[in-house]
Structure 1
C-alpha cells in the first residue's frame, strides 16, 4: 500500500499571504512572549504555543513555515519534540535552547533541524535564521510522503498491540505526556478520526505489533 500523502505545498510569495505564520514553542511564558514579540513584523505573524500537542495540531495543517522550538519542554524527551516536527516534512525547524552542545547539535542536524541557536540570542540573529530557513524551505523540492520518527514507530507498534498510554510509557521508559504527544502525531498522520480507530488505521499503513511485546 502506498504511504499516505501530504497536502500539496504551495510556495510562499508576497502575493500568496499578507503575513506568513511562524510557530514558536516554549513552556516558559515570559520567553515565549518575548520570542513572539521579537518575530511579530509586517512580514511574519508568530503563533506561540506552550503546549507541544497544540503546536503539533497547528503545524499539521499549516502552510509550510518555520518552527522555532525549545528543547526542554517538560515531559517531552529532548529531540523527540523536534523530530516529530521534522517528520512532517513540511516545515523548517530551528532549535532555540539554553541547553546546546556539539553532540546535541550534530544529532539535531541529522534529525532534520535547520539551525540550532543558543539562548539568549539577539533579535537580529533569530530573524536572520528564520529568513534563511524559510528561503531554504521554499527552494526545496516538494516531499509528498509522510515519514515516521523512531519514537513514533515504537509507539505505533505498541498501540496496535493494544497497550494503553501508561503501559507504553513504562515499556519505552518515557513519560505518559510524551506518549500522548506521539499518539496525537499518529492520529494526524493517519487521518484517524478517533483514538479508538487509531490501531486499525496504523495497521492499514503498515504497522503491526512487535512480536517481542
Structure 2
C-alpha cells in the first residue's frame, strides 16, 4: 500500500513530540493527523478507515495499552506502533499482546519509525509480514533448547534479564548469551520482531 493511501494518526500528549514526529513523517511522504489525547482519538477511531496508529505508551488520560484494548472493544482496531522508553519494555510487550504491530524504544533513528509504519500498513491489505510464516516459526521454536525456551518465555512475558536470571537461578550474563542464541535460531533481527514471532506462533510464558 502506498503512503498516500492511508493516514498515520499520532497520539501523544506532548505537543513538541507530536509536531516533530508529524514533521518527520510528512517529509517522508506520509499523510498525518495529530491527536493530543488517547481519549479524543478513541472517540474518533470508529470513523477512521485505512489508518495506522502511532502512540506513546505513557499518557496521562489513558496508557497506550489501554488505548489498544479500548479500540478492540469499540471494534475500531487498526495497525499500531507504540513508542516506549527503555524502562517501559514490559508494558510494550503487553501492548503487542493487545494487538500492536511493533514497539520502538526511545531514542530511535528516523528510519526505524518509518520502517515500522510501513510494516504496520501492510496489515491494511492483509499482506503477510516477512519472516512470520507460522509453520516456519514453529520449526525454529523446536530448535531451541529447554533453557532457551525458558529464556524466551521470560522475554515474551516482558521480564528484564535480571528477573529472568533470578527465576532460572543463573547469571544475567548467561541470560544474555541464551537470548542471543534465541535471536539467532529464531532469525529475529530485533527484540520486537522476536516477540511478534513468538506471539504469532502462540508461544507464551510457561
**What band does the TM-score fall into relative to the shorter chain?**
0.5 to 0.7
**2:24 pairs with 1:38:** yes
| CA distance in structure 2 between the partners assigned to 1:81 and 1:19 by the alignment | 24
Partner SS for 1:130: helix
Q: CA deviation at 1:94?
A: 0.8
Output aligned runs, 1:147-166, within 5 Å: none
Q: CA deviation at 1:99?
A: 5.2
Q: CA deviation at 1:69?
A: 0.4
Q: CA deviation at 1:105?
A: 3.0
Question: Contact (CA 8 Å) 2:37, 2:61: kept in 1 or not?
Answer: no
Question: Contact (CA 8 Å) 2:64, 2:95: kept in 1 or not?
Answer: no
Q: CA deviation at 1:41?
A: 4.2
| CA distance in structure 2 between the partners assigned to 1:111 and 1:94 by the alignment | 12
| TM-score, L = length of structure 2 | 0.54
Residue in 2 that maps onto 1:117: 104
Taking only aligned residues, the RMSD between alpha carbons, in angstroms, comes to 2.5
Correspondent of 2:37 among 51, 58, 82: 51
Residues 100, 68 of structure 1: CA spacing in aligned structure 2 closer, same or farther, 3 A cutoff?
farther
Q: Which has the higher contact order (CA 8 A, sep 6+)?
A: 1
Q: Deviations over 1:166-200 (max 9, x none)?
A: xxxxxxxxxxxxxxxxxxxxxxxxxxxxxxxxxxx
Q: CA deviation at 1:52?
A: 1.8
Structure 1 stretches of 5 or more lacking a match? 1-12, 142-213
Partner SS for 2:10: strand
Question: Contact (CA 8 Å) 2:8, 2:31: kept in 1 or not?
Answer: yes
Higher helix share: 2
Q: Deviations over 1:127-161 (max 9, x none)?
A: 000001101332169xxxxxxxxxxxxxxxxxxxx
Question: Contact (CA 8 Å) 1:96, 1:119: kept in 2 or not?
Answer: yes
Residue in 1 that maps onto 2:78: 91
Residues 99, 132 of structure 1: CA spacing in aligned structure 2 closer, same or farther, 3 A cutoff?
same
| CA distance in structure 2 between the partners assigned to 1:71 and 1:98 by the alignment | 8
Partner SS for 1:120: coil
Residues 66, 75 of structure 1: CA spacing in aligned structure 2 closer, same or farther, 3 A cutoff?
same
Residues 103, 34 of structure 1: CA spacing in aligned structure 2 closer, same or farther, 3 A cutoff?
same
Structure 2 stretches of 5 or more lacking a match? 129-206
**2:64 pairs with 1:82:** no
Partner SS for 2:117: helix
